[in-house]
Amino acid sequence: MKFVKDVAKTQLNKDQITDQQAEEAFRTILKWIGEDPSREGLFETPKRVVKAFKEYFKGYHQDPMINLKKTFSDVDGYDDMVVEKNISLESHCEHHIAPIIGVVHVAYIPKTKVVGISKLARTVEVFSKRLQTQERLTMQIAKTLMEGLEAKGVAVTINAAHQCMTMRGIKKEKATTVTNCFLGSFKEDLSYQNRYLRLIAK
Ligand SMILES: [Zn+2]
């Protein structure tokens, strides 16, 4: 059963916009804010922004499950939680295309398979390099790990600042948002959940 709907593929095939068309759109925005896109300092800017956007949104071209295909079972029966803390997060909110900057904590309890630790961060990366809400990002990471690792339980916590809130609008520069998702044993057994919360609080 597929937990996470992969919206990326359907969106991509619909209309293929060329780099040149995207650059032209940024040139229009530069004019619209009152700039002269032909002046020296800005001449190459649309090209650079397109390149940067390709990096910010590379997650649309990545399959989150690929990272979790290679697993290991030779771990001498390790069956406690694996916690990966403070994975740095850079994403963009889908309402303002403003940066979301923070950290992600991820934990899973293996059933039979464990995965290379870097793959947890890679899973975070695939979904964060798309336009997001923090709530959806939390759920997508959790459900993908649960399904991909056939884990007994998964916990995901995100603590992030949204620049659409800190730099504009209500301008609460110290506000951060915390979201959690608990699946399997982390949801059913509060002793797991509490140990996880203690471990990430340190
Ligand atoms: Zn926003």
Q: Is 73 helix (H, G, I), strand (E, B) or coil?
A: coil
* Residue reference for tokens 């059963």: 1
Distance 41 CA to ligand 1 centre (A): 28
95 as an active site residue: the answer is yes
Which helix (H) or strand (E) segment holds residue 41: the answer is: helix 40-43
- Looking at 20, 95, 135, 188, which residue is catalytic? 95
Note if 164 is an active site residue. Answer: yes
Distance 159 CA to ligand 1 centre (A): 15
Determine the distance separating the centroid of ligand 1 and the alpha carbon of 160, expressed in angstroms: 12
pLDDT in tens, 99-157: 999 999 999 999 988 999 999 999 999 999 999 999 999 999 999 999 999 999 999 99
160-195 burial, b for 16+ CB within 10 Å, e for fewer? bbbbbbbeeeeeeeeeeeebbbbbbbbeeeeebbeb
Strand spans (E) along 16-61: none
State yes or no: is 181 an active-site residue. no
Q: Judge whether 92 counts as a catalytic residue.
A: no
37: left (phi > 0), else alpha (psi -120 to 50), else beta? alpha
β-bridge mates for residue 154, sequence order: 108, 183
pLDDT in tens, the chain (202 residues): 455 555 555 555 556 999 999 999 999 999 999 999 999 999 999 999 999 999 999 999 999 999 899 998 878 889 999 999 999 999 999 999 999 999 999 999 999 889 999 999 999 999 999 999 999 999 999 999 999 999 999 999 999 999 998 888 888 888 999 999 999 999 999 999 999 999 999 8
How far, in Å, CA of 196 to CA of 192, rounded? 6
